[in-house]
Amino acid sequence: MTCRYCGESAGWWRRNCASCRRLLAAFEENRGADFQSMMQIFRATGVAMETIEKFLEADPRGDGSVRDQIAADMTNDLMRALGNDTRQTAADVKRIRERGNWVNLDRRPTE
Ligand SMILES: [Zn+2]
Protein backbone atom coordinates (compact mmCIF):
# COMPACT_ATOMS: atom_id res chain seq x y z
CA MET A 1 0.00 0.00 0.00
CA THR A 2 0.96 3.63 -0.38
CA CYS A 3 1.51 5.73 2.72
CA ARG A 4 -1.50 8.04 3.27
CA TYR A 5 0.83 10.81 4.42
CA CYS A 6 3.95 10.92 2.26
CA GLY A 7 2.97 8.68 -0.68
CA GLU A 8 5.92 6.35 -0.24
CA SER A 9 5.46 2.62 -0.25
CA ALA A 10 4.26 1.59 3.20
CA GLY A 11 4.23 -2.20 2.75
CA TRP A 12 1.12 -4.12 1.80
CA TRP A 13 -0.25 -4.49 5.31
CA ARG A 14 0.30 -0.87 6.37
CA ARG A 15 -1.52 2.36 5.58
CA ASN A 16 1.37 4.51 6.81
CA CYS A 17 5.10 4.05 6.31
CA ALA A 18 7.50 3.67 9.23
CA SER A 19 8.62 7.34 9.06
CA CYS A 20 5.07 8.72 9.13
CA ARG A 21 4.06 6.35 11.91
CA ARG A 22 6.95 7.75 13.94
CA LEU A 23 5.86 11.32 13.14
CA LEU A 24 2.23 10.53 13.96
CA ALA A 25 3.20 9.03 17.33
CA ALA A 26 5.32 12.11 18.13
CA PHE A 27 2.42 14.36 17.09
CA GLU A 28 -0.15 12.53 19.26
CA GLU A 29 2.21 12.57 22.26
CA ASN A 30 2.75 16.31 21.94
CA ARG A 31 -0.69 17.63 20.97
CA GLY A 32 -0.99 21.29 21.90
CA ALA A 33 2.68 22.10 21.30
CA ASP A 34 3.23 25.23 19.24
CA PHE A 35 4.39 24.90 15.66
CA GLN A 36 8.06 25.55 16.31
CA SER A 37 8.26 23.05 19.18
CA MET A 38 6.41 20.51 17.05
CA MET A 39 8.95 20.96 14.25
CA GLN A 40 11.80 20.34 16.70
CA ILE A 41 10.03 17.22 17.93
CA PHE A 42 9.56 16.02 14.34
CA ARG A 43 13.20 16.67 13.48
CA ALA A 44 14.28 14.78 16.60
CA THR A 45 12.60 11.63 15.23
CA GLY A 46 15.36 11.49 12.60
CA VAL A 47 12.84 11.48 9.72
CA ALA A 48 13.99 13.34 6.58
CA MET A 49 12.81 16.97 6.30
CA GLU A 50 11.25 16.20 2.92
CA THR A 51 9.05 13.53 4.50
CA ILE A 52 8.18 15.83 7.42
CA GLU A 53 6.98 18.47 4.92
CA LYS A 54 4.80 15.95 3.10
CA PHE A 55 3.46 14.70 6.42
CA LEU A 56 2.50 18.24 7.47
CA GLU A 57 0.57 18.93 4.27
CA ALA A 58 -1.15 15.53 4.08
CA ASP A 59 -4.88 15.45 4.67
CA PRO A 60 -5.76 11.73 4.52
CA ARG A 61 -9.27 12.11 5.96
CA GLY A 62 -10.09 15.38 4.19
CA ASP A 63 -10.75 17.20 7.47
CA GLY A 64 -7.58 19.26 7.67
CA SER A 65 -3.87 18.60 7.30
CA VAL A 66 -1.51 17.91 10.19
CA ARG A 67 -0.40 21.54 9.88
CA ASP A 68 -4.04 22.64 10.29
CA GLN A 69 -4.43 20.40 13.34
CA ILE A 70 -1.37 21.93 14.98
CA ALA A 71 -2.80 25.40 14.27
CA ALA A 72 -6.21 24.36 15.66
CA ASP A 73 -4.60 23.04 18.85
CA MET A 74 -2.63 26.27 19.27
CA THR A 75 -5.74 28.38 18.69
CA ASN A 76 -7.74 26.34 21.20
CA ASP A 77 -5.06 26.76 23.85
CA LEU A 78 -5.05 30.50 23.23
CA MET A 79 -8.86 30.68 23.36
CA ARG A 80 -8.93 28.70 26.59
CA ALA A 81 -6.36 31.05 28.10
CA LEU A 82 -8.66 33.94 27.15
CA GLY A 83 -11.65 32.20 28.74
CA ASN A 84 -13.32 31.31 25.46
CA ASP A 85 -14.48 27.72 25.14
CA THR A 86 -15.22 27.74 21.42
CA ARG A 87 -13.37 24.82 19.90
CA GLN A 88 -11.76 25.10 16.51
CA THR A 89 -11.14 21.95 14.60
CA ALA A 90 -8.58 21.29 11.93
CA ALA A 91 -11.46 21.43 9.44
CA ASP A 92 -12.27 24.99 10.60
CA VAL A 93 -8.67 26.03 10.12
CA LYS A 94 -8.65 24.46 6.67
CA ARG A 95 -11.82 26.36 5.73
CA ILE A 96 -10.42 29.68 6.98
CA ARG A 97 -7.10 29.09 5.23
CA GLU A 98 -8.79 28.19 1.96
CA ARG A 99 -10.85 31.38 2.11
CA GLY A 100 -7.55 33.23 2.25
CA ASN A 101 -8.14 34.94 5.58
CA TRP A 102 -5.67 32.83 7.45
CA VAL A 103 -3.00 35.02 9.04
CA ASN A 104 -0.24 32.40 8.93
CA LEU A 105 -0.17 31.97 12.70
CA ASP A 106 1.78 28.79 12.22
CA ARG A 107 4.49 30.29 10.08
CA ARG A 108 7.30 32.71 10.70
CA PRO A 109 6.46 36.22 9.51
CA THR A 110 8.25 37.02 6.27
CA GLU A 111 10.75 39.84 6.50
ZN1 LIG B 1 4.85 8.06 4.94
Residue 29 CA to ligand 1 center (angstroms) comes to 18
Q: Buried b / exposed e across 7-32, counting CB within 10 Å, b at 16+?
A: eeebeeeeebbebbbbbeebbeeeee
Q: Is the pTM of this model over 0.85?
A: no
Instruction: Note the pLDDT tens digit of each residue in 43-52.
Output: 999 999 999 9
Residue 50 CA to ligand 1 center (angstroms) comes to 11
Residue 85 CA to ligand 1 center (angstroms) comes to 34
The pLDDT, as a whole number, for residue 110 is 54
Structural element, H or E, at residue 96: helix 90-99
What is d(CA 90, CA 73) in angstroms, rounded to the nearest whole number?
8
Higher pLDDT, 84 or 21: 21
Task: Assess whether pLDDT exceeds 90 at residue 29.
Answer: yes
Residue 81 CA to ligand 1 center (angstroms) comes to 35
Instruction: Note the pLDDT tens digit of each residue in 11-26.
Output: 888 899 999 999 999 9
pLDDT band at 5 (very low <50, low <70, confident <90, very high): very high
Residue 15 CA to ligand 1 center (angstroms) comes to 9
Domain ranges across the chain: 18-99
Q: Which amino acid is at 17?
A: C
The pLDDT, as a whole number, for residue 94 is 86
